[in-house]
Amino acid sequence: MTKEEFKKAYIDEVVECCAKPLDECSDLERYEALVSLISYRATEILAETTKRNSIEKPKKVYYFSMEFLIGKLLENYLINLGCKDVVEQGLREMGVELSDLLEVESDPGLGNGGLGRLAACFLDSMAAMGIPGMGMGLRFRFGLFRQRIISGYQIEEPDAWLENGYPWETVKTSGAVQVRFGGTIEKTFNDGKLGFIHKDGEVVLAVPYDVPIVGFDGRYTNILRLWQARNLHETVDFEAFNKGNYPMAMREKSRTEAITCILYPNDNSDTGKILRLKQEYLLCCAGLNSILQSYEASYGSDAWGELADHVAVHINDTHPALCVPELMRILVDEKKMEWDDAWEVTRNTIAFTNHTVLPEALERWPQEMLKELLPRIYMIIEEIDRRWKDSLRGRDDWHQLSTETAILADDQVRMAQLSVIGSHSVNGVAALHSKIIAEDLFRGFSALDPAKFSNKTNGISHRRFLIQSNPALSGLITEALGESWKREPGRMEELLRFSEDTGFLDAVARAKAENKQRLVDYISKTSHIAVDPQSVFDVQVKRIHAYKRQLLNALKILDIYNTLKDDPNADVKPATFIFSGKAAPGYAFAKEVIKFICSVADLVNSDPVIRERIKVVFIENFCVSNAQLIYPAADISEQISTAGKEASGTGNMKFMMNGAVTLGTLDGANVEIHGLVGDENIKIFGLTADETSGLAHSGAYRSQQVCDGDPTIKRMMDQLVNGTFSASGRNFWDIRDALLQYNDEYFVLKDLEPYRKAWRELTQTYQDSSAWNRMCLVNIAKSHFFSSDRTIDEYAKEIWKVSRR
């Protein structure tokens, strides 16, 4: 499409959509007209892809995930369709700035953290590589929440991302699926076969909304299907309504719509647990039913035994674990397969990725709750569990294996065990993580079937988080390597030939400076804090959790504050410390850490001397859009989780790809980063995973002894409660107790001194611009390993057994 062709088509679309001249339209109307024009092309490609698939009938991948953080799509589409420059220039000639229209679009509220961003990257790579696939998720009306920071406290507000509709989606009412909760199970016996009929209970309608995912170069388009809960029949309680009891009159509608209202409702109560279970089952039931309807239309009603030859179902963590019993329910109860045949099909169809080693994050549901809410599903889980235990009998270690691997134990349904037993493949997401799940978390399963376990180190979309997020750097790479690196990220390795090229290294530095100024402007606009773009940008952005150790970072800053307070001329390099991330609404300690970070920020930023040396910023409401400003601007990437706790991380990859240098522990994918760039291009500190595990099991660690032996730490522990933060209106006894009284579960104090030392050394290196720019270039060049194209290629070849086109 030429510029003139675009301008004519856009003016025609404005007239069609808005019925008035372009100069009389609002930015929202101009945005909607542009979306209408671009989505028409996306729909054309989707139709071409669908036609090709119907002829070729390739094996198709269905990726189930509770989160899909796809971010704003307009710019992504323009880049992947290869028309961004044409559109931007054409609009400018008509007096419209593309950047203004991009600001109109809302971030879809479809996730929280790395899990959702990973799933979105995977969809991007699958479409770019021509792997037929579909994402299966839920259409949350208000997402997780919109975070505001008021007086240092996290305040959760509804994320009304659907307020103006969502122009990229298409509702597919004809594909709606009925989902049943509660009720009773009636057994039947006909023609010598036992059958089951699910009666009564609550029936809701899951309605699919399809969002096209356009692949790079616009050759293929896949679908993200989002399910929304609705009433089976529109109804109202007239008796209650006529009595003026309007909430009671609408209670059925409200109860149903609550299922897809909020992502991750607080599950500290039984009511919250039930709502989460409803969400997870609705996703699995609706998704699988739609898959099998499509499969039957293509292959007939007698081809269920070959399902795994044509369909791959992947469950992203344990949220979609109910895919296992739900697929069994459909095959046994509805398709009338024998149990053993159905079980072989189910296991050969489903694969499972584990994303955590934290026991509290491995989902478990009360048996009675699941039995009452999903009676037939619970019966199937019981049978799977019984047959699994029977398969272990006769072994000398039967009791131990049964205890470790049972699905039903301690009145709980253990979803991780269900996922492992019901899948043909189980993978971790970084080398260290995969080692831990095979040797510790799932050691019983691994001992029985080691070939079932593998590693698939996570990846990120270089198109979203480099090409789109960092045009200055990606333009420089294109000048050096040509266009082909965008499709073949492995070519980024060739950048190493410029490692002694002063001109190229200076250009890398100029790109970084441009990105830092862009973030400075954003911080000034949103946080009203003036930041020095010449200072080192030390950044930690991720979900707030004790094991991710934002607290360690905040204590380091408090120590720097103390150093400067004692000696204003101390050798501390100018630095801006940037935090962002959300705490789960029910996670009190994480919220306390946010308040502490903000209190340290107030202490630093209000001091007229110290604020000229360092600044602290907490950017509220971390999301894909502001992440795309933050990653390119970072100098230091803080990846400081307790070793052995982080599965992989993907933020570390995004920072690396944008030229930040990692300051971190040997945890998650940091291990692979270290292996790729070498000691000289990363700063590693602290305990290893083996050391943290050893200390945890031996009980040898005593945080109070560490405190007593280090006056600097003792001073900070006292500051938590002695009124140092009185201006923020509180002390921090809970944090102090966690570190001292409860023995510092995540080894914050143990790692604090090596962390401070590593930070000082790294910021000293930053003063040598030539050495630093070379470190940045090495990280950029080596980051190609973390492209999600590489990850998806491994999944496709080794787990899904599908071919790229």
Q: Which residue has the tokens 């390099």?
A: 573
Distance of alpha carbon 514 from alpha carbon 473, whole angstroms? 10
Exposed, middle or buried by CB within 10 Å (0-12, 13-18, 19+), for 719?
Answer: buried
Distance of alpha carbon 365 from alpha carbon 345, whole angstroms? 26
504 C-beta neighbours (distance < 10 Å), count: 18
Of 139, 542, 615, 645, the active-site residue reads: 542
Of 141, 146, 198, 548, the active-site residue reads: 548
Q: Identify whether the C-beta of residue 86 lies closer than 8 Å to the C-beta of residue 6.
A: yes
3-state helix, strand, coil in the chain (%, to 5): 55, 15, 30
Distance of alpha carbon 387 from alpha carbon 385, whole angstroms? 6
| DSSP states along 324-392 | HHHHHHIIIIIS---HHHHHHHHHHHEEEE-----GGGS-EEEHHHHHHHSHHHHHHHHHHHHHHHHHH
| DSSP states along 435-482 | HHIIIIITHHHHHH-GGGEEE----B-HIIIIIIT-HHHHHHHHHHH-
Beta strand pairing status for 133-138 and 221-231? Answer: parallel
Structure tokens at 96: 């419209």
Please state, in angstroms and as integers, the Cα–Cα distance from residue 363 to each residue in 259, 385, 729, following that order: 18, 17, 37
Listed in order, strand segments (DSSP E) in 507-553 are 536-541
Nearest to 781 by CA among 472, 511, 512, 496: 496
Distance of alpha carbon 720 from alpha carbon 36, whole angstroms? 55
Task: Give the CA count within 13 Å in the CB-facing half-sphere of 537.
Answer: 29
Is 542 annotated in the active site?
A: yes
User: Which sign does the torsion angle of CA 263, 215, 429, 784 carry?
Assistant: negative
Helix, strand or coil for residue 33? helix
N-term to C-term CA, the chain: 25
Nearest to 421 by CA among 401, 402, 403, 407: 407
Distance of alpha carbon 647 from alpha carbon 653, whole angstroms? 13
Is 356 annotated in the active site?
A: no
Dihedral, CA atoms, 675, 676, 680, 686, nearest 10 degrees?
-40
Of 49, 650, 662, 724, the active-site residue reads: 650
Please state, in angstroms and as integers, the Cα–Cα distance from residue 316 to each residue in 414, 427, 442, 562, following that order: 16, 10, 17, 44
Q: Identify whether the C-beta of residue 324 lies closer than 8 Å to the C-beta of residue 350.
A: yes
H or E element, residue 674: helix 670-677
Of 654, 756, 774, 784, the active-site residue reads: 654
Q: Which residue has the tokens 């010449």?
A: 534
Of 276, 543, 750, 756, the active-site residue reads: 543
- What is the phi/psi pair of residue 10, to 5°? -70, -45
Is 548 annotated in the active site?
A: yes
Give me the amino acid identity at 465.
F
Distance of alpha carbon 218 from alpha carbon 790, whole angstroms? 20
Is 355 annotated in the active site?
A: yes
| Cα 557 off chain centre by | 28
Nearest to 68 by CA among 130, 20, 137: 137
Of 355, 463, 545, 613, the active-site residue reads: 355
Nearest to 781 by CA among 481, 518, 511: 481
DSSP 700: -
Structure tokens at 367: 């048996």
Distance of alpha carbon 548 from alpha carbon 543, whole angstroms? 8
Distance of alpha carbon 473 from alpha carbon 268, whole angstroms? 45
Distance of alpha carbon 64 from alpha carbon 60, whole angstroms? 13
Mind telling me the catalytic residues? Answer: 355, 542-543, 548, 650, 654
